């Protein structure tokens, strides 16, 4: 247990751990949403999109690792039972029941926007008070912003492709 780590954090420990647990649960759900989406995806640019989903999935898992490390340093315990993931997360898991790539992209875009808001909140909470948690959440925030951009770009490309196809038929 990081005794000094806990002492120097200028944020209410309980409230901070609560936010880190929420973020941790959301990262596992985000990981699975991307991973399983990559297994079932169908539609245009499938193989490129699958590659991107797997890359994002691995990054979400890495975020879970960083959060777990920080939770433990602060004297907490990461969620031990995956049953708790859905109960704890506020960014909700959206099962890829309609596996067309545009649906998957839209679901992941919503999840990324929720994640951006989560880390923005943790950054605001820790800025100037808990430098280590701030550093980690700012690093994750940067990657979530990149994810949103990449997913949005795929959506635009597919839409542009469909519109071009339609214009050729007229
Ligand atoms: Fe993440
Ligand atoms: Fe993400």
Judge whether 111 and 147 are in contact, CB under 8 Å.
Answer: no
The neighbourhood of ligand 1, an ion, using CB within 5 A, equals 27, 60, 63
Instruction: Tell me, yes or no, whether 38 lies in a domain.
Output: yes
Predicted confidence (pLDDT) per residue in 105-133, tens digit: 999 999 999 999 999 999 999 999 999 99
Q: Is the pLDDT of residue 2 over 80?
A: no
Ligand 2 centroid, distance to 12 Cα (angstroms): 27
Instruction: Tell me, yes or no, whether 105 lies in a domain.
Output: yes
Q: For residue 75, what is the DSSP state?
A: T
Query: In DSSP terms, which residues pair with 42 in a beta bridge?
Result: 100
Judge whether 63 and 143 are in contact, CB under 8 Å.
Answer: yes
Instruction: Tell me, yes or no, whether 5 lies in a domain.
Output: no
Task: Name which residue leads in pLDDT, 161 or 14.
Answer: 14
Ligand 2 centroid, distance to 111 Cα (angstroms): 7
Q: Is the pLDDT of residue 1 over 70?
A: no
Predicted confidence (pLDDT) per residue in 59-78, tens digit: 999 999 999 999 999 999 99
Give the CA distances from residue 47 to residues 18, 55, 87, 108, in Å, rounded to whole numbers and listed in that order.
38, 12, 33, 17
**3-state class (DSSP) for residue 42:** strand
Q: Is the pLDDT of residue 22 over 70?
A: yes
Ligand 1 centroid, distance to 92 Cα (angstroms): 13
Instruction: Tell me, yes or no, whether 72 lies in a domain.
Output: yes
Instruction: Tell me, yes or no, whether 6 lies in a domain.
Output: no
Instruction: Tell me, yes or no, whether 119 lies in a domain.
Output: yes
Instruction: Tell me, yes or no, whether 52 lies in a domain.
Output: yes
CB-based contacts of 168: which residues, under 8 Å, 6+ apart?
Answer: none
Ligand 1 centroid, distance to 10 Cα (angstroms): 25
Domain tally, the chain: 1
pLDDT band at 7 (very low <50, low <70, confident <90, very high): confident
82-89 contact pairs (CB < 8 A, 24+) = 82/28, 84/25, 85/25, 85/28, 85/29, 86/25, 86/29, 87/25, 88/21, 88/22, 88/24, 88/25, 89/22, 89/25, 89/26, 89/29
Q: Is the pLDDT of residue 33 over 90?
A: yes
What is the model's pTM? 0.93
Q: For a pLDDT cut of 90, what percent of the chain falls above it?
A: 86
Ligand located closest to 63 CA: 1
Structural domain for 87, as ranges: 12-169
Q: For residue 100, what is the DSSP state?
A: B
Cα 166 to chain centroid distance, Å, stands at 34
Domain of 143, CATH number, reads: 1.20.1260.10
- What value does the mean pLDDT take over residues 24-44? 98
| Structure-token match 């691995």, residue found | 58
As given in the structure block, the two tokens for residue 84 are: 């708790």
Ligand 1 centroid, distance to 4 Cα (angstroms): 27
Q: Is the pLDDT of residue 6 over 80?
A: no
Instruction: Tell me, yes or no, whether 7 lies in a domain.
Output: no
- Helical ranges in the chain per DSSP H: 3-8, 13-40, 46-73, 83-88, 101-126, 131-169
């Amino acid at each position: 247990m990081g005794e000094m780590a806990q002492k120097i954090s200028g944020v209410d420990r309980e409230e901070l751990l609560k936010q880190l647990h929420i973020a941790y649960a959301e990262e596992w759900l985000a990981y699975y949403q991307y991973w399983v989406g990559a297994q079932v995806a169908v539609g245009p640019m499938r193989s490129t999109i699958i590659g991107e989903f797997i890359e994002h999935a691995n990054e979400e898992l890495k975020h879970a690792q960083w959060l777990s490390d920080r939770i433990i340093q602060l004297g907490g315990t990461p969620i031990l039972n995956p049953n708790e993931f859905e109960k704890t997360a506020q960014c909700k898991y959206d099962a890829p029941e309609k596996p067309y790539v545009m649906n998957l992209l839209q679901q992941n875009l919503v999840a990324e926007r929720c994640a951006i808001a989560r880390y923005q909140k943790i950054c605001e909470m820790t800025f100037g008070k808990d430098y280590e948690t701030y550093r980690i959440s700012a690093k994750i925030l940067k990657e979530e912003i990149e994810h949103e951009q990449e997913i949005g770009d795929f959506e635009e490309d597919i839409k542009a492709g469909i519109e071009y196809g339609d214009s050729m038929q007229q």
